[in-house]
Amino acid sequence: MQSYKRSYIPCILFSSLVLVSVEVRPIEDRIKELCERAATAENSDVPELLAELKELFAEHSASVRYLAAKTLSRFRAA
């Protein structure tokens, strides 16, 4: 199972623009790829694919929450 977590965490240190253009897109592509594989996978492969999808959804959700919090903090500071 491949994880994007190691490459995702350092990108939080950059601006939200970099986070969106560099990290969110590959996660979305990987989610699409895993969904396609799960649709045609053998039953024995499905649990591993679903576990990886669950991890990617969690990472995607965390990046969206981070972007929302950063955007809200900019408005509050102004």
Would you list the DSSP string of 33-69? HHHHHHHH--GGGHHHHHHHHHHHHHHHHHHHHHHHH
Looking at residues 9-34, what average pLDDT do you find? Answer: 62
pLDDT band for position 78 (cuts 50, 70, 90): low
Q: What integer pLDDT is reported at residue 14 of this predicted model?
A: 47
Report yes or no on whether pTM surpasses 0.85.
no
Q: What pLDDT shows up at residue 1? A: 47
Mean pLDDT of 3-31: 55
Q: Does 22 have pLDDT greater than 70?
A: no
Q: Work out the average pLDDT over 37-41.
A: 92
